[in-house]
Structure 1
Amino acid sequence: MTTPQQYQAPSADDFLMGGGGAPTAKFPTAGITIGGRVTERPTVEQQRDIKTGEKKFWSDGNPMMQLVVTVQTEQRDPAIEDDDGRRRLFVKGQLKNAIADAVRMTGARGLEVGGTLAVTYTHDGTPSGPGMSPPKQYTARYTAAATAALHTPDPGTVPQQQYAPAPQQYAAPAQQHYAAPPVAAAAPMAAQPNPAVAALQAQQQAQAAAAPPPF
């Protein structure tokens, strides 16, 4: 069944091409996060009554407005023909404050095409009156388009695997052992004559010299 919010006025591109706009992002239970890249310029539209679909006004007659943001999610609903994953966020009340705070934290001036927005339904608040449903409470995270682009790989290229150079192993130089040069063998000492033998030889030579020559 189509809810009143799903027949909000389409964007100019959807109107031109015959589309009815992206499906509404749904948060059935607390803890769900929906988000992705902002695919088109956000628009401001008048709120409608959920039950009747009639446009809503404040007590002073001024229209109750809301921001419509379309994000590219990874969701796919088999019940939706040609579901491309786009979802519309209808930003109002506490959700508006949460997104505004997230945008301020980045220093951006507002939501922009190419930025990434993620919204989380955290818990239920306090009903504003008897018989009223408790308002859903949200937190939001936003990344500006320029920052998101830096972290988005080019779809036409294959990421190159980075290889860290292998650490060079330090090898200690081989220890050189000092070998002392060979010592030349000492020349053998000349044999010294025995004094006793020398004296005996000298005596014999003297006696031979004194002996008369033979006849």
Structure 2
Amino acid sequence: MTMTANEFLMGGGIAAAKFDVVGTTVSGQITQSPRVEQQKDLNTGEPKFWNDGKPMQQLLVTVQTTLRDPEVDDDNGERTFYIKAKMLAAVREAVRRAGAKGLEVGGTLAITYTGDGEATKRGFNPPKLYSATYTPPSAAAANDFLNGGQAPAAAVDNRYNVLDQQQAAQQAAPAPAPAPAPADVDAGALQAALASLTPEQRAALKL
């Protein structure tokens, strides 16, 4: 496995995800861009090749888990999947079911050791069988929110709210009714009415 600069700096690498017992599931959010590298012989450390001379590749995917090794003081829970053979087929199918085009940082990958297949050669261990699920980043974020997260409230500029309220009030207020036009006055009738007033009435009207 190729070490990152920080792994080299800190003098260590990320532990591999282990599937020792049938039913074991390792799950977590992808923290680094997945990378492909050539497989190596576990005994000699030499690169492995197919019979036709092509290198045997594997996909390395690092996820953040809740696992902690009590024997490792600084275990932060990160684990790396070494994806090949049956595990590769399971992960590929999981990505297809998710409608994704590949694995992305922020997505959630879960792999379960479901059982053993049949050994292809006498004396060899039977291949492990796996199932997998993958949740793309956007869906993973939505699930986090639904499971207890809270989206931040949108900021509101109250200045514009006040202006809108004032404009709405002005539009809703009824326009004042126009003053009634003065009725036409008959000048002759007015003169006759004044002439019929008594002196006391004229005094009261200050005429």
| Same fold by TM-score greater than 0.5 | yes
**Structure 1 counterpart of 2:71, which letter?**
A
Q: Residues 71-106 of structure 1, C-alpha deviation per residue, up to 9 Å, x if partnerless?
A: 111100011230000000000001001000000111
Q: Which of 34, 37, 43 is equivalent to 2:35?
A: 43
Q: Which of 3, 28, 41 is equivalent to 1:10?
A: 3
**Structure 2 counterpart of 1:10, which letter?**
M
State the distance in 2 between where 1:13 and 1:103 align: 29
Which residue in 1 is equivalent to 2:136? 144
Which residue in 1 is equivalent to 2:127? 135
Which residue in 2 is equivalent to 1:74? 66
Q: Please list, as runs of the form range in 1=range in 2, the aligned pairs for 1:47-62 lying within 5 A after superposition.
A: 47-62=39-54
Where does structure 1 differ by over 6 angstroms across 4 or more consecutive aligned residues? none
Q: Which of 62, 76, 101 is equivalent to 1:109?
A: 101
* Residue 21 of structure 1: how far off its partner (Å): 2.6
Q: Residues 102-148 of structure 1, C-alpha deviation per residue, up to 9 Å, x if partnerless?
A: 00111110000000000000000100101000010000011001100
**Structure 2 counterpart of 1:97, which letter?**
A
* Residue 158 of structure 1: how far off its partner (Å): 7.4
State the distance in 2 between where 1:53 and 1:81 align: 27
* Residue 11 of structure 1: how far off its partner (Å): 2.9
State the distance in 2 between where 1:11 and 1:106 align: 29
State the distance in 2 between where 1:35 and 1:85 align: 11
**Structure 1 counterpart of 2:138, which letter?**
A
C-alpha distance 19-152 of structure 1, shift in aligned 2 (>3 A): farther
TM-score computed with the length of structure 1 as normaliser: 0.65
Which residue in 1 is equivalent to 2:85? 93
Does the 8 Å contact 1:66/1:91 carry over to 2? Answer: yes
Q: Please list, as runs of the form range in 1=range in 2, the aligned pairs for 1:22-33 lying within 5 A after superposition.
A: 22-33=14-25
Does the 8 Å contact 1:10/1:19 carry over to 2? Answer: no
State the distance in 2 between where 1:101 and 1:20 align: 32
State the distance in 1 between where 2:93 and 2:110 align: 13
Superposed CA RMSD in Å reads: 2.0
**Structure 2 counterpart of 1:49, which letter?**
D
Larger radius of gyration between Structure 1 and Structure 2: 1
Identity of aligned pairs, percent?
Answer: 49
**Structure 2 counterpart of 1:150, which letter?**
A
C-alpha distance 18-71 of structure 1, shift in aligned 2 (>3 A): same
Equivalenced residue count is 150
TM-score computed with the length of structure 2 as normaliser: 0.68
State the distance in 2 between where 1:135 and 1:53 align: 21
State the distance in 1 between where 2:107 and 2:141 align: 8
Structure 2 residues not aligned, in runs of 5+: 152-207
Structure 1 residues not aligned, in runs of 5+: 1-7, 161-215
